[in-house]
Structure 1
Amino acid sequence: MKSLLTTHQLEARYGDFQALFGIDMHIQEGDAVALIGSNGAGKSTLMKSLCGLISVAPDSVLLDGQPIGGLPSHEIVRRGIAMVPEGRKLFRSLSVEENLRIGAFAQRKGPWTLERVFALFPILKEKRALPGTSLSGGQQQMVAIGRALMSNPKLLLCDEISLGLSPAVIQDIYAALPSIRAEGLSVVIVEQDIDTAVRSAKHVYCLMHGRVSLHGASDAVSKQQISAAYFGLEDKEVVNT
């Protein structure tokens, strides 16, 4: 399977504070990767580094073998990476449909259209004329996912998509992932809910204090290994895949 995105010794800083230390990550075409870790582990910082919200060294992030580290976020969207941000961040002044359409600004060709998003999340078609922020939390999350899909990305970054949602709504959101990945789209899922994340992914990376504490195939790492890497109970070696 072809490599889509890799990071090599990726470091990220907020001023003088270093948040990521030497992150090596490999995502293949069509892959589903779970990124887990406690609060402050560096998960969101890594996502922001991949999508251009934090400046990093050019060669520390490669997409299709080309350096994209430090490019502006709109250029990274044009290259094929889209992010579903934590907290959804819909535009308050725009309707559901307008929020979705704005995701297509890069005009990348691909299968995801407004009607395709409505087919994935039928409730959004019913509420297309309503303000995006007037919807329930789960429906707003569907809008945020649909907006990202409208850019027809190669790689979809999902940052805490279950945050603040009920278990039933979370189940509905994750039930849509197989349809999203059916076109060969790669997905990175950032979650604090370990079980949900690992069940939904082929590979898992665990971060602790800005470093990779564990990685491997989801079916090859045990709950004990994940727990140790997540909470820092003992030193863990990387699990080979």
Structure 2
Amino acid sequence: MLLVEGLQASYGDSRVLFGIDLAVARGEVVTLLGRNGMGKTTTVRSIFGLLRPAGGRVSVNGRDLTAAAPHLIARAGLGLVPEGRQVFAPLTVEENLIATARGSGKAKWTLDKVYRLFPRLKERRRNMGDQLSGGEQQMLAVGRALMTNPALIVLDEATEGLAPLIRDEIWSCLRHLKDEGEAILVIDKNVDALIRFADRHVVIEKGHVVWSGSTPELVSTPDVKTRFLQV
């Protein structure tokens, strides 16, 4: 579904990505792992057209979308939960969700379904985006992405800065999405939580893929976590 081949990216004269390869199939959960500053968010920005790649290829369902405009990436079926949530502060919860809604009356994700997934959002539906807690904002960011009815949802730092109980709620949500058959690419530092439901993992270090494999392979290779994921 999503295929990234040899992705390169730079900020000015500084090269950040050096040939990133990753793929996400339909219904698959893949993680992108690595310490801070290793290129995870740059990879996401390059996939979504927020940063023009310096080389490589990004394709969705066989369609080459390398360096396409972000709105075309979204129309192709990619939904983003960005780092820092970036909810629309001047809008209510419900307006945030409706603002990104896409699909016909038979759309899989509707306002009612998002409210069933996150009952707290329904309770706060008339609150403004900047009146929510960090956890509520993350729920809203996930719900907003789902309202685009994506073929693949990408979460950049899925639980960063959230309290343990809220993190557990987000993990429960992602497991539910997997059960619903959603394809997910997720970035997060909580490896132990990710291996409970993710299918495959891609580890990057200084802009290079240094390891990739299945969850059983990651569990059976503890030195990967020690060498590339621990601070």
| SS of the residue 2:154 aligns to | strand
Relative distance call for 1:91 and 1:214 in structure 2 (3 A) is same
What amino acid maps onto 2:60 in structure 1? L
Distance in 1 of aligned mates of 2:107 and 2:28: 18
What amino acid maps onto 1:78 in structure 2? R
Q: CA deviation at 1:216?
A: 0.0
Distance in 1 of aligned mates of 2:62 and 2:70: 18
| SS of the residue 1:41 aligns to | coil
| Greater RCO structure (CA 8 Å; 6+ sep) | 2
**For 1:162-241, what aligned pairs fall within 5 Å after superposition?**
162-221=159-218, 222-230=221-229
* Contact 2:81–2:155 (8 Å) recurs in 1: yes
* Contact 1:208–1:230 (8 Å) recurs in 2: no
**Which of 10, 25, 29 in structure 2 is aligned with 1:28?**
25
What amino acid maps onto 2:3 in structure 1? T
Q: Which digits, 9 at most, give the CA deviation of each residue in 1:92-143, with x for residues without a partner?
A: 1100001111121x54763001111000001111110110221111111100
With normalisation by structure 1, the TM-score equals 0.89
Q: CA deviation at 1:59?
A: 6.0
Distance in 2 of aligned mates of 1:24 and 1:127: 40
Say if 2:153 is the partner of 1:148. Answer: no
Distance in 2 of aligned mates of 1:27 and 1:57: 22
Q: CA deviation at 1:7?
A: 1.0
With normalisation by structure 2, the TM-score equals 0.93
Unpaired runs of 5+ residues, structure 1, are 233-241
Distance in 2 of aligned mates of 1:101 and 1:56: 31
Distance in 2 of aligned mates of 1:112 and 1:223: 38
* Contact 1:99–1:147 (8 Å) recurs in 2: yes
* Contact 2:9–2:55 (8 Å) recurs in 1: no
Q: Which digits, 9 at most, give the CA deviation of each residue in 1:207-230, with x for residues without a partner?
A: 100010110001112222232233
Distance in 2 of aligned mates of 1:107 and 1:42: 33
Task: Give the aligned partner of residue 15 of structure 2.
Answer: 18
Relative distance call for 1:14 and 1:57 in structure 2 (3 A) is closer
Q: CA deviation at 1:194?
A: 2.2
| SS of the residue 2:217 aligns to | coil
What amino acid maps onto 1:212 in structure 2? V
What amino acid maps onto 1:193 in structure 2? N
Unpaired runs of 5+ residues, structure 2, are none
Say if 2:71 is the partner of 1:56. Answer: no
Distance in 2 of aligned mates of 1:85 and 1:227: 27
Say if 2:156 is the partner of 1:159. Answer: yes
Distance in 2 of aligned mates of 1:113 and 1:158: 19
Task: Give the aligned partner of residue 77 of structure 1.
Answer: 74
* Alignment coverage as a number of residue pairs: 228
**For 1:126-145, what aligned pairs fall within 5 Å after superposition?**
126-145=123-142
User: What RMSD, in angstroms, separates the aligned Cα atoms of the two structures?
Assistant: 1.7
Q: Which digits, 9 at most, give the CA deviation of each residue in 1:30-67, with x for residues without a partner?
A: 11011111111100011111111111268611111110
Q: CA deviation at 1:18?
A: 0.9
| SS of the residue 1:157 aligns to | strand
Relative distance call for 1:172 and 1:99 in structure 2 (3 A) is same
Task: Give the aligned partner of residue 40 of structure 2.
Answer: 43
| SS of the residue 1:88 aligns to | coil
